[in-house]
């Protein structure tokens, strides 16, 4: 054996030695950065063994699972692979040994590929969500359809989310996309600090119940929310608000500091600011009601405009007083 080969072998041996000496906690943390399928496959590595069953982050995205590189010859039979995916998820959860889960992600790209029986699919999805809630999950992300070019981004999966989500005292972040929220008896999420709703169907009464049931909420994202015909946000602790909205919007957020707003319609969008005295940064992506919006944010230090909004200002010939211009810093963003 040449000295060069001996050096290579020595380095390889040192790497294995260092791996074998690492504590289990460090190795489990390393596994959390891998796609869930690759993390499970480390069972074939002696040092890792069944450590994947202790992972505190479980991320199930079917489009990651269906990647051609994961399967022989890159050929995917979706009828077979969908069954493989659902079985894989069930087995992972059945073998999971962690007492708690920090993060649980479920993305189903095209629900209509899964099962002709909607009731069966709803039961399957809700069972996964209940697993996460039972494990005192802190971050929960549910997307029942993917917002890509191949799907209708306006579609909402017509299924009630389980009540257990909205009574969790452990949830810190909740992200929902393409879901429906209705018939909630109680909302008690005392620890929730971030809520994101995208293409979610929820009515006025139910939304107000959610907001009032989240006293610690600090960040709210609302994009393309259906059914809601008036967005009334009265939350004392919210510090960041991201709105893409198309109807009446009433804001009563005394501690709000950052506001991102994109109004979609020039005729229906009506922004009513009741109380936002602490706002210091605003990002305007709307080409509608720009002067109305700006006139209601008197304490702002920085105003950002998207290209479209900035162009609209120039086209409309909006003029501001000298004092007003001095009170704001305009930054154009892509």
Residue 46 is assigned to a structural domain of this protein: yes
Domain of residue 170, CATH code: 3.80.10
User: Phi and psi dihedrals of 263, rounded to 5?
Assistant: -85, 135
Same domain as 129, residue 186: yes
Domain boundary among 209, 228, 247: 228
* pLDDT score at 159: 62
Domain boundary among 202, 228, 254: 228
How far lies 36's CA from each of 39, 42, 137, 252, 281, in Å?
5, 10, 17, 42, 38
Same domain as 105, residue 21: no
Distance, first Cα to last Cα, the chain: 59
Same domain as 98, residue 159: yes
* pLDDT score at 248: 76
Residues 6+ apart with CB under 8 A from 129: 106, 140, 142, 161, 162, 164, 165
How far lies 37's CA from each of 24, 28, 33, in Å?
19, 14, 11
Beta bridge partners of 233: 251
User: Phi and psi dihedrals of 249, rounded to 5?
Assistant: -135, 115
* pLDDT score at 139: 97
Same domain as 69, residue 123: yes
Same domain as 15, residue 142: no
Same domain as 217, residue 70: yes
Burial of 317 per CB tally in 10 Å (0-12, 13-18, 19+): exposed
* pLDDT score at 319: 45
Same domain as 192, residue 45: no
* pLDDT score at 76: 66
Residue 224 is assigned to a structural domain of this protein: yes
Domain boundary among 21, 37, 54: 54
Domain around 20? 8-54
Residue 24 is assigned to a structural domain of this protein: yes
* pLDDT score at 16: 57
Same domain as 208, residue 92: yes
Same domain as 158, residue 37: no
For residue 274, how far is the Cα from the chain centroid?
Answer: 28
Residue 210 is assigned to a structural domain of this protein: yes
Dihedral sign computed on CA atoms, order 181, 187, 192, 194? positive
pLDDT block averages, 10 residues each, the chain of length 334: 51 58 85 88 84 92 81 68 86 91 90 65 88 96 66 56 94 94 90 94 90 95 83 88 80 89 66 80 72 66 67 47 38 38
Same domain as 12, residue 94: no
With beta carbons less than 8 A apart as the criterion, state whether 247 and 222 touch: no
Same domain as 167, residue 121: yes
Residue 287 is assigned to a structural domain of this protein: no
Domain count, the chain: 2
Residues 6+ apart with CB under 8 A from 217: 192, 193, 194, 195, 211, 235, 237, 238
What count of other Cβ atoms lies within 10 Å of the Cβ of residue 98? 14
Residue 78 is assigned to a structural domain of this protein: yes
Same domain as 202, residue 120: yes
Residue 96 is assigned to a structural domain of this protein: yes
Residue 200 is assigned to a structural domain of this protein: yes
């Amino acid at each position: 054996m040449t000295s060069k080969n001996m050096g290579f072998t020595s380095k390889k041996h040192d790497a294995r030695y260092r791996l074998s000496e690492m504590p289990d906690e460090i190795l489990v943390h390393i596994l959390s950065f891998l796609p869930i399928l690759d993390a499970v496959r480390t069972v074939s590595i002696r040092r890792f063994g069944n450590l994947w069953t202790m992972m505190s982050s479980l991320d199930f995205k079917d489009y990651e699972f269906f990647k051609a590189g994961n399967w022989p010859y890159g050929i995917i039979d979706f009828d077979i692979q969908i069954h493989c995916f659902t079985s894989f998820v069930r087995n992972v959860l059945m073998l999971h040994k962690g007492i708690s889960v920090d993060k649980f992600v479920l993305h189903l790209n095209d629900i209509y590929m899964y099962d002709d029986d909607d009731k069966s699919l709803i039961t399957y999805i809700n069972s996964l969500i209940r697993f996460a809630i039972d494990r005192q999950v802190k971050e929960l992300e549910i997307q029942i359809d993917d917002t890509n070019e191949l799907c209708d981004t306006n579609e909402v999966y017509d299924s009630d989310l389980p009540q257990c989500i909205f009574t969790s005292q452990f949830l810190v972040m909740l992200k929902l996309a393409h879901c429906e929220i209705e018939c909630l008896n109680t909302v008690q999420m005392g620890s929730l600090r971030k809520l994101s709703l995208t293409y979610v169907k929820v009515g006025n009464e139910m939304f107000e119940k959610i907001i009032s049931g989240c006293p610690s909420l600090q960040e709210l994202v609302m994009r393309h929310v259906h059914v809601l015909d008036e967005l009334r946000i009265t939350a004392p602790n919210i510090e960041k608000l991201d709105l893409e909205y198309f109807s009446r919007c009433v804001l009563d957020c005394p501690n709000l500091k950052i506001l991102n707003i994109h109004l979609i319609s020039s005729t229906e969008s009506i922004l009513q600011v009741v109380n936002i005295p602490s706002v210091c940064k605003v990002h305007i992506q709307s080409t509608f009601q720009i002067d109305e919006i700006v006139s209601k944010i008197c304490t702002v230090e920085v105003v950002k405009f998207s290209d479209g909004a900035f162009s609209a200002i120039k086209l409309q010939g909006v003029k501001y007083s000298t004092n007003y211009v001095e009170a704001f810093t305009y930054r154009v963003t892509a």
